[in-house]
Structure 1
Amino acid sequence: MSSAKATTITGGRGLLLRRGLRLEYATLGWNLIGLGVLATAALGSGSPALAGFGLDSLIEVFASLVVVWQLKGVHKAREDRAMRLIGAAFAALAAYLLLQLVLVFFTGVRPATSGLGILWTALTSVVMLGLAWGKIRTGHALGNPVLRAEGKVTLVDAYLAGAVLAGLVLNALLGWWWADLLAGAVIIYYAVREARHAFRHSP
Protein backbone atom coordinates (compact mmCIF):
# COMPACT_ATOMS: atom_id res chain seq x y z
CA MET A 1 0.00 0.00 0.00
CA SER A 2 1.38 3.43 -0.95
CA SER A 3 2.04 5.98 1.77
CA ALA A 4 -0.51 8.37 0.20
CA LYS A 5 -3.23 5.72 0.29
CA ALA A 6 -2.34 4.76 3.86
CA THR A 7 -2.53 8.42 4.86
CA THR A 8 -5.96 8.75 3.21
CA ILE A 9 -7.26 5.66 5.04
CA THR A 10 -5.85 6.89 8.35
CA GLY A 11 -7.35 10.33 7.79
CA GLY A 12 -10.73 8.83 6.94
CA ARG A 13 -10.66 6.71 10.08
CA GLY A 14 -9.78 9.78 12.12
CA LEU A 15 -12.82 11.60 10.73
CA LEU A 16 -15.06 8.65 11.60
CA LEU A 17 -13.66 8.50 15.14
CA ARG A 18 -14.33 12.21 15.62
CA ARG A 19 -17.86 11.76 14.27
CA GLY A 20 -18.43 8.91 16.72
CA LEU A 21 -17.22 11.06 19.60
CA ARG A 22 -19.45 13.98 18.54
CA LEU A 23 -22.46 11.67 18.45
CA GLU A 24 -21.65 10.43 21.95
CA TYR A 25 -21.14 13.96 23.30
CA ALA A 26 -24.50 14.99 21.81
CA THR A 27 -26.15 11.99 23.47
CA LEU A 28 -24.53 12.84 26.80
CA GLY A 29 -25.66 16.45 26.64
CA TRP A 30 -29.25 15.58 25.74
CA ASN A 31 -29.59 12.97 28.47
CA LEU A 32 -28.01 15.15 31.15
CA ILE A 33 -30.55 17.89 30.37
CA GLY A 34 -33.25 15.22 30.29
CA LEU A 35 -32.48 14.10 33.83
CA GLY A 36 -33.63 17.47 35.17
CA VAL A 37 -36.65 17.69 32.86
CA LEU A 38 -37.81 14.14 33.67
CA ALA A 39 -37.33 14.60 37.41
CA THR A 40 -39.53 17.71 37.29
CA ALA A 41 -42.18 15.99 35.15
CA ALA A 42 -42.18 12.79 37.24
CA LEU A 43 -42.52 14.67 40.53
CA GLY A 44 -45.28 16.85 39.13
CA SER A 45 -47.35 13.98 37.72
CA GLY A 46 -46.44 11.06 39.98
CA SER A 47 -45.68 9.05 36.83
CA PRO A 48 -43.60 5.91 37.39
CA ALA A 49 -43.08 5.70 33.62
CA LEU A 50 -41.37 9.10 33.57
CA ALA A 51 -39.30 8.17 36.62
CA GLY A 52 -38.26 4.98 34.86
CA PHE A 53 -37.37 6.88 31.73
CA GLY A 54 -35.14 9.09 33.86
CA LEU A 55 -33.24 5.97 34.96
CA ASP A 56 -32.97 4.91 31.33
CA SER A 57 -31.34 8.29 30.64
CA LEU A 58 -28.80 7.52 33.38
CA ILE A 59 -28.04 4.17 31.73
CA GLU A 60 -27.61 5.92 28.39
CA VAL A 61 -25.19 8.40 29.99
CA PHE A 62 -23.19 5.45 31.36
CA ALA A 63 -23.17 3.69 27.98
CA SER A 64 -22.03 6.86 26.19
CA LEU A 65 -19.18 7.34 28.66
CA VAL A 66 -18.09 3.74 28.03
CA VAL A 67 -17.97 4.36 24.28
CA VAL A 68 -16.06 7.64 24.65
CA TRP A 69 -13.53 5.76 26.80
CA GLN A 70 -13.25 3.02 24.17
CA LEU A 71 -13.00 5.35 21.16
CA LYS A 72 -10.18 7.30 22.81
CA GLY A 73 -8.11 4.13 23.23
CA VAL A 74 -9.23 1.62 20.61
CA HIS A 75 -7.64 -1.79 21.10
CA LYS A 76 -8.87 -5.34 21.58
CA ALA A 77 -8.71 -5.49 25.39
CA ARG A 78 -10.60 -2.22 25.75
CA GLU A 79 -13.13 -3.28 23.12
CA ASP A 80 -13.93 -6.54 24.95
CA ARG A 81 -14.35 -4.78 28.29
CA ALA A 82 -16.52 -2.09 26.71
CA MET A 83 -18.79 -4.75 25.16
CA ARG A 84 -19.26 -6.35 28.58
CA LEU A 85 -20.16 -2.96 30.06
CA ILE A 86 -22.65 -2.28 27.25
CA GLY A 87 -24.18 -5.71 27.87
CA ALA A 88 -24.47 -4.87 31.56
CA ALA A 89 -26.24 -1.60 30.66
CA PHE A 90 -28.80 -3.50 28.56
CA ALA A 91 -29.31 -6.04 31.35
CA ALA A 92 -29.80 -3.24 33.91
CA LEU A 93 -32.33 -1.55 31.64
CA ALA A 94 -34.30 -4.80 31.18
CA ALA A 95 -34.24 -5.54 34.93
CA TYR A 96 -35.46 -2.07 35.84
CA LEU A 97 -38.23 -2.08 33.24
CA LEU A 98 -39.43 -5.46 34.52
CA LEU A 99 -39.48 -4.13 38.09
CA GLN A 100 -41.27 -1.01 36.86
CA LEU A 101 -44.00 -3.03 35.15
CA VAL A 102 -44.55 -5.25 38.19
CA LEU A 103 -44.76 -2.30 40.57
CA VAL A 104 -47.17 -0.34 38.38
CA PHE A 105 -49.38 -3.37 37.84
CA PHE A 106 -49.61 -4.46 41.47
CA THR A 107 -49.58 -1.11 43.27
CA GLY A 108 -52.33 0.37 41.13
CA VAL A 109 -50.47 3.67 40.69
CA ARG A 110 -52.28 5.86 38.17
CA PRO A 111 -50.19 8.83 36.99
CA ALA A 112 -51.63 12.24 36.25
CA THR A 113 -51.34 13.91 32.86
CA SER A 114 -47.94 15.51 32.17
CA GLY A 115 -47.67 18.01 29.33
CA LEU A 116 -43.96 18.45 30.00
CA GLY A 117 -43.46 14.68 29.91
CA ILE A 118 -45.32 14.38 26.60
CA LEU A 119 -43.27 17.17 25.01
CA TRP A 120 -39.91 15.83 26.23
CA THR A 121 -40.52 12.20 25.31
CA ALA A 122 -41.72 13.23 21.84
CA LEU A 123 -38.57 15.26 21.24
CA THR A 124 -36.35 12.57 22.73
CA SER A 125 -37.80 9.86 20.50
CA VAL A 126 -36.92 11.84 17.37
CA VAL A 127 -33.48 12.98 18.58
CA MET A 128 -32.44 9.51 19.79
CA LEU A 129 -33.52 7.87 16.53
CA GLY A 130 -31.23 10.22 14.62
CA LEU A 131 -28.32 9.70 17.00
CA ALA A 132 -28.81 5.93 17.03
CA TRP A 133 -28.67 5.51 13.28
CA GLY A 134 -25.67 7.85 13.11
CA LYS A 135 -23.80 5.70 15.66
CA ILE A 136 -24.75 2.42 13.99
CA ARG A 137 -23.64 3.65 10.55
CA THR A 138 -20.43 5.13 11.90
CA GLY A 139 -19.73 1.96 13.89
CA HIS A 140 -20.15 -0.14 10.75
CA ALA A 141 -17.83 2.15 8.78
CA LEU A 142 -15.21 1.93 11.55
CA GLY A 143 -15.68 -1.78 12.11
CA ASN A 144 -16.28 -0.89 15.76
CA PRO A 145 -18.78 -3.26 17.47
CA VAL A 146 -18.80 -1.16 20.66
CA LEU A 147 -20.12 1.94 18.88
CA ARG A 148 -22.66 -0.20 17.01
CA ALA A 149 -23.81 -1.82 20.26
CA GLU A 150 -24.18 1.54 22.00
CA GLY A 151 -26.10 2.78 18.98
CA LYS A 152 -28.59 0.02 19.76
CA VAL A 153 -28.74 1.23 23.37
CA THR A 154 -29.68 4.64 21.97
CA LEU A 155 -32.23 2.97 19.67
CA VAL A 156 -33.81 1.29 22.71
CA ASP A 157 -33.87 4.73 24.35
CA ALA A 158 -35.77 6.08 21.34
CA TYR A 159 -38.25 3.18 21.44
CA LEU A 160 -38.69 3.60 25.17
CA ALA A 161 -39.35 7.32 24.71
CA GLY A 162 -42.00 6.43 22.13
CA ALA A 163 -43.55 3.86 24.47
CA VAL A 164 -43.67 6.28 27.38
CA LEU A 165 -45.07 8.96 25.05
CA ALA A 166 -47.80 6.60 23.87
CA GLY A 167 -48.65 5.70 27.44
CA LEU A 168 -48.80 9.35 28.51
CA VAL A 169 -50.97 10.34 25.54
CA LEU A 170 -53.35 7.40 25.88
CA ASN A 171 -53.61 8.03 29.61
CA ALA A 172 -54.33 11.72 29.00
CA LEU A 173 -56.90 11.14 26.24
CA LEU A 174 -58.53 7.83 27.11
CA GLY A 175 -57.43 6.94 30.63
CA TRP A 176 -55.58 3.84 29.32
CA TRP A 177 -52.98 3.67 32.11
CA TRP A 178 -51.87 0.18 31.07
CA ALA A 179 -50.79 1.11 27.52
CA ASP A 180 -47.15 1.75 28.37
CA LEU A 181 -46.97 -1.63 30.19
CA LEU A 182 -47.47 -3.45 26.89
CA ALA A 183 -44.87 -1.34 25.10
CA GLY A 184 -42.48 -1.81 28.00
CA ALA A 185 -42.74 -5.59 27.68
CA VAL A 186 -41.60 -5.40 24.06
CA ILE A 187 -38.65 -3.20 25.01
CA ILE A 188 -37.64 -5.66 27.76
CA TYR A 189 -37.44 -8.43 25.16
CA TYR A 190 -35.29 -6.27 22.89
CA ALA A 191 -32.98 -5.21 25.73
CA VAL A 192 -32.46 -8.82 26.89
CA ARG A 193 -31.66 -9.91 23.33
CA GLU A 194 -29.08 -7.16 22.89
CA ALA A 195 -27.52 -7.88 26.31
CA ARG A 196 -27.04 -11.52 25.31
CA HIS A 197 -25.52 -10.45 22.00
CA ALA A 198 -23.06 -8.12 23.72
CA PHE A 199 -22.00 -10.75 26.27
CA ARG A 200 -21.54 -13.36 23.53
CA HIS A 201 -19.28 -10.98 21.63
CA SER A 202 -16.97 -10.55 24.63
CA PRO A 203 -14.78 -13.44 25.87
Structure 2
Amino acid sequence: MQTIEFVRPGLAAERQHWYRIAAWLAGITIGYNIVEGLVSVYFGFADETLALLGFGVDSYVEVISGLGIWHMIRRLRTHGDGDPDPFERQALRVTGTAFYLLAAGLVTTGAVNLYQGNAPVTTFWGVVISLVSITGMWLLIHYKMKAGRALGSDAILADAACSRACLQFSLVLLAASAGYALTGIGGIDSAGALIIALLAVREGREAFAKSRGKSACGCNSCT
Protein backbone atom coordinates (compact mmCIF):
# COMPACT_ATOMS: atom_id res chain seq x y z
CA MET A 1 0.00 0.00 0.00
CA GLN A 2 1.34 3.41 -0.92
CA THR A 3 2.17 5.69 2.01
CA ILE A 4 1.02 9.26 1.70
CA GLU A 5 2.99 11.92 3.58
CA PHE A 6 1.05 14.90 4.81
CA VAL A 7 3.07 18.09 5.09
CA ARG A 8 1.61 20.81 7.25
CA PRO A 9 0.87 23.89 5.11
CA GLY A 10 3.36 26.65 5.70
CA LEU A 11 5.99 24.31 7.18
CA ALA A 12 8.60 25.23 4.55
CA ALA A 13 7.95 28.93 5.08
CA GLU A 14 8.22 28.50 8.84
CA ARG A 15 11.57 26.71 8.49
CA GLN A 16 12.88 29.49 6.26
CA HIS A 17 11.72 31.99 8.89
CA TRP A 18 13.75 30.24 11.59
CA TYR A 19 16.77 29.93 9.30
CA ARG A 20 16.63 33.70 8.74
CA ILE A 21 16.51 34.23 12.51
CA ALA A 22 19.49 31.86 12.97
CA ALA A 23 21.44 33.76 10.30
CA TRP A 24 20.65 37.09 11.96
CA LEU A 25 21.75 35.72 15.33
CA ALA A 26 25.05 34.57 13.79
CA GLY A 27 25.54 38.03 12.28
CA ILE A 28 24.73 39.74 15.58
CA THR A 29 27.25 37.47 17.31
CA ILE A 30 29.96 38.52 14.85
CA GLY A 31 29.17 42.22 15.16
CA TYR A 32 28.95 42.05 18.94
CA ASN A 33 32.34 40.33 19.21
CA ILE A 34 33.97 42.94 16.98
CA VAL A 35 32.73 45.78 19.20
CA GLU A 36 33.47 43.86 22.41
CA GLY A 37 36.98 43.11 21.18
CA LEU A 38 37.71 46.75 20.37
CA VAL A 39 36.48 48.01 23.74
CA SER A 40 38.14 45.22 25.73
CA VAL A 41 41.54 45.54 24.06
CA TYR A 42 41.47 49.33 24.46
CA PHE A 43 40.70 49.24 28.18
CA GLY A 44 42.91 46.20 28.68
CA PHE A 45 45.90 48.21 27.47
CA ALA A 46 44.84 51.45 29.16
CA ASP A 47 44.18 49.83 32.54
CA GLU A 48 47.01 47.27 32.26
CA THR A 49 44.64 44.39 33.01
CA LEU A 50 45.80 41.20 31.35
CA ALA A 51 42.53 39.33 31.89
CA LEU A 52 40.55 42.00 30.01
CA LEU A 53 43.15 42.18 27.25
CA GLY A 54 43.05 38.42 26.79
CA PHE A 55 39.25 38.51 26.80
CA GLY A 56 39.33 41.14 24.05
CA VAL A 57 41.67 39.12 21.86
CA ASP A 58 39.44 36.09 22.41
CA SER A 59 36.53 38.13 21.00
CA TYR A 60 38.40 38.42 17.69
CA VAL A 61 39.02 34.68 17.64
CA GLU A 62 35.28 34.25 18.13
CA VAL A 63 34.72 36.47 15.08
CA ILE A 64 36.60 33.96 12.93
CA SER A 65 34.56 31.13 14.40
CA GLY A 66 31.38 33.17 13.91
CA LEU A 67 32.08 33.59 10.20
CA GLY A 68 32.24 29.81 9.89
CA ILE A 69 28.95 29.51 11.78
CA TRP A 70 27.25 32.11 9.57
CA HIS A 71 28.43 30.28 6.47
CA MET A 72 27.25 26.98 7.97
CA ILE A 73 23.73 28.32 8.51
CA ARG A 74 23.56 29.46 4.89
CA ARG A 75 24.62 25.97 3.81
CA LEU A 76 22.07 24.29 6.08
CA ARG A 77 19.32 26.53 4.76
CA THR A 78 20.07 25.40 1.21
CA HIS A 79 21.32 21.83 1.52
CA GLY A 80 20.35 20.60 4.98
CA ASP A 81 22.66 18.90 7.48
CA GLY A 82 25.97 17.48 6.32
CA ASP A 83 29.70 17.55 6.85
CA PRO A 84 31.42 20.95 7.13
CA ASP A 85 32.49 22.28 3.75
CA PRO A 86 36.07 23.50 3.04
CA PHE A 87 35.34 27.07 4.17
CA GLU A 88 34.00 25.89 7.53
CA ARG A 89 36.91 23.49 8.04
CA GLN A 90 39.43 26.21 7.26
CA ALA A 91 37.66 28.61 9.65
CA LEU A 92 37.88 25.97 12.37
CA ARG A 93 41.59 25.39 11.76
CA VAL A 94 42.32 29.14 11.83
CA THR A 95 40.21 29.44 14.99
CA GLY A 96 42.09 26.59 16.66
CA THR A 97 45.48 28.09 15.79
CA ALA A 98 44.42 31.52 17.06
CA PHE A 99 43.23 30.02 20.36
CA TYR A 100 46.59 28.31 20.85
CA LEU A 101 48.51 31.53 20.10
CA LEU A 102 46.28 33.44 22.51
CA ALA A 103 46.89 30.85 25.23
CA ALA A 104 50.67 30.97 24.71
CA GLY A 105 50.72 34.76 24.93
CA LEU A 106 48.57 34.85 28.07
CA VAL A 107 50.59 32.16 29.84
CA THR A 108 53.87 33.93 29.10
CA THR A 109 52.65 37.40 30.06
CA GLY A 110 50.71 36.13 33.07
CA ALA A 111 53.76 34.31 34.42
CA VAL A 112 55.91 37.43 34.00
CA ASN A 113 53.29 39.58 35.74
CA LEU A 114 53.04 37.17 38.65
CA TYR A 115 56.84 37.05 38.99
CA GLN A 116 57.22 40.83 38.86
CA GLY A 117 54.16 41.50 41.02
CA ASN A 118 52.48 43.70 38.40
CA ALA A 119 48.92 44.86 39.08
CA PRO A 120 46.26 46.59 36.96
CA VAL A 121 45.54 50.29 37.30
CA THR A 122 41.87 49.39 37.70
CA THR A 123 39.55 46.53 36.72
CA PHE A 124 36.38 48.65 36.72
CA TRP A 125 35.86 48.22 32.99
CA GLY A 126 36.52 44.52 33.25
CA VAL A 127 33.55 44.24 35.61
CA VAL A 128 31.35 46.37 33.33
CA ILE A 129 32.29 44.56 30.12
CA SER A 130 31.92 41.11 31.66
CA LEU A 131 28.42 41.93 32.98
CA VAL A 132 27.35 43.25 29.57
CA SER A 133 28.84 40.16 27.91
CA ILE A 134 27.10 37.76 30.29
CA THR A 135 23.75 39.40 29.55
CA GLY A 136 24.35 39.44 25.80
CA MET A 137 25.53 35.84 25.67
CA TRP A 138 22.55 34.67 27.73
CA LEU A 139 20.13 36.30 25.27
CA LEU A 140 21.97 34.85 22.26
CA ILE A 141 21.96 31.37 23.82
CA HIS A 142 18.23 31.62 24.53
CA TYR A 143 17.25 32.55 20.97
CA LYS A 144 19.76 30.24 19.30
CA MET A 145 18.30 27.35 21.31
CA LYS A 146 14.79 28.35 20.18
CA ALA A 147 15.89 28.41 16.53
CA GLY A 148 17.77 25.11 16.81
CA ARG A 149 14.83 23.35 18.42
CA ALA A 150 12.33 24.78 15.94
CA LEU A 151 14.46 23.50 13.06
CA GLY A 152 15.50 20.26 14.76
CA SER A 153 19.09 21.18 13.84
CA ASP A 154 21.94 19.75 15.92
CA ALA A 155 24.35 22.13 14.18
CA ILE A 156 22.44 25.25 15.26
CA LEU A 157 22.06 23.86 18.79
CA ALA A 158 25.84 23.37 18.71
CA ASP A 159 26.18 27.06 17.85
CA ALA A 160 24.25 27.84 21.04
CA ALA A 161 26.78 25.68 22.89
CA CYS A 162 29.52 27.86 21.41
CA SER A 163 27.88 30.87 23.00
CA ARG A 164 27.79 29.00 26.32
CA ALA A 165 31.56 28.56 26.05
CA CYS A 166 31.88 32.33 25.47
CA LEU A 167 29.79 32.83 28.59
CA GLN A 168 32.42 30.92 30.57
CA PHE A 169 35.10 33.38 29.42
CA SER A 170 32.89 36.25 30.61
CA LEU A 171 32.39 34.65 34.02
CA VAL A 172 36.15 34.22 34.45
CA LEU A 173 36.71 37.86 33.52
CA LEU A 174 34.06 38.95 36.04
CA ALA A 175 35.61 36.85 38.82
CA ALA A 176 39.12 38.17 38.12
CA SER A 177 38.05 41.80 37.75
CA ALA A 178 35.77 41.84 40.77
CA GLY A 179 38.34 39.89 42.80
CA TYR A 180 41.03 42.50 42.18
CA ALA A 181 38.61 45.40 42.75
CA LEU A 182 37.65 43.97 46.15
CA THR A 183 41.07 42.86 47.37
CA GLY A 184 43.67 44.86 45.44
CA ILE A 185 45.71 41.67 44.95
CA GLY A 186 47.35 42.04 41.53
CA GLY A 187 47.89 38.32 41.12
CA ILE A 188 44.13 37.77 40.79
CA ASP A 189 44.14 39.52 37.40
CA SER A 190 47.04 37.38 36.18
CA ALA A 191 45.37 34.25 37.53
CA GLY A 192 42.22 35.15 35.60
CA ALA A 193 44.30 35.52 32.44
CA LEU A 194 45.84 32.08 33.01
CA ILE A 195 42.38 30.52 33.40
CA ILE A 196 41.31 32.19 30.15
CA ALA A 197 44.42 30.66 28.58
CA LEU A 198 43.35 27.19 29.77
CA LEU A 199 39.89 27.71 28.30
CA ALA A 200 41.50 28.87 25.05
CA VAL A 201 43.56 25.67 24.85
CA ARG A 202 40.39 23.64 25.35
CA GLU A 203 38.57 25.55 22.62
CA GLY A 204 41.54 25.33 20.26
CA ARG A 205 41.77 21.57 20.69
CA GLU A 206 38.05 21.23 20.10
CA ALA A 207 38.16 23.42 16.99
CA PHE A 208 40.77 21.18 15.38
CA ALA A 209 38.77 18.09 16.37
CA LYS A 210 35.61 19.53 14.82
CA SER A 211 37.47 20.44 11.62
CA ARG A 212 37.95 16.70 11.15
CA GLY A 213 34.46 15.73 12.28
CA LYS A 214 30.87 16.44 11.41
CA SER A 215 30.11 19.61 13.34
CA ALA A 216 31.00 23.15 12.39
CA CYS A 217 31.16 24.36 15.95
CA GLY A 218 34.53 24.67 17.63
CA CYS A 219 33.37 24.67 21.20
CA ASN A 220 33.88 22.09 23.86
CA SER A 221 30.24 21.46 24.61
CA CYS A 222 29.07 21.07 21.06
CA THR A 223 29.20 17.30 20.87
Q: TM-score normalised to the size of structure 2?
A: 0.74
Which deviates more from structure 2 when the two are superposed, residues 94-103 or residues 56-65?
A: 94-103
| Match in the other structure for 2:41 | 39
| Match in the other structure for 1:102 | 108
Q: Which runs of 5+ in 2 are unaligned?
A: 216-223
Residues 149 and 198, structure 1, Cα contact 8 Å, conserved in 2: no
Q: 1:143 to 1:186 in 2, by over 3 A?
A: farther
| Match in the other structure for 1:180 | 192
| Match in the other structure for 2:51 | 49
Q: Find 1:127's aligned residue among 106, 118, 136.
A: 136
| Match in the other structure for 1:93 | 99
Q: Find 2:16's aligned residue among 9, 14, 24.
A: 14
- For 2:10, what is the secondary structure of its paired residue? helix
Amino acid at match of 1:195: A
The CA distance in 1 between the partners of 2:137 and 2:171, in whole Å, is: 10
Q: 1:56 to 1:181 in 2, by over 3 A?
A: closer
Residues 89 and 212, structure 2, Cα contact 8 Å, conserved in 1: no
- 1:9-67 deviation per Cα after TM superposition (whole angstroms, max 9, x unaligned): 31221122012112112212322221332133112201222121111111222222222
State the Cα RMSD in Å: 2.9
The CA distance in 2 between the partners of 1:36 and 1:87, in whole Å, is: 23
The CA distance in 2 between the partners of 1:125 and 1:113, in whole Å, is: 20
Q: Find 1:199's aligned residue among 207, 211, 217.
A: 211
Q: 1:148 to 1:119 in 2, by over 3 A?
A: same
**Residue 161 of structure 1: how far off its partner (Å):** 1.3
Matched, 1:114 2:114: no
Q: Percent identity?
A: 21
The CA distance in 2 between the partners of 1:168 and 1:88, in whole Å, is: 29
Residues 145 and 157, structure 2, Cα contact 8 Å, conserved in 1: yes
Q: 1:157 to 1:188 in 2, by over 3 A?
A: same
Which deviates more from structure 2 when the two are superposed, residues 27-36 or residues 135-144?
A: 135-144
| Match in the other structure for 2:156 | 147
Which deviates more from structure 2 when the two are superposed, residues 83-92 or residues 37-46?
A: 83-92
The CA distance in 1 between the partners of 2:192 and 2:45, in whole Å, is: 18
Residues 102 and 200, structure 2, Cα contact 8 Å, conserved in 1: no
Which deviates more from structure 2 when the two are superposed, residues 191-200 or residues 62-71?
A: 191-200
Instruction: Indicate the structure (1 or 2) with the bigger Cα radius of gyration.
Output: 2
The CA distance in 1 between the partners of 2:66 and 2:18, in whole Å, is: 16
| Match in the other structure for 1:161 | 170
Q: 1:188 to 1:56 in 2, by over 3 A?
A: closer
Aligned residues: 201
Q: TM-score normalised to the size of structure 1?
A: 0.80
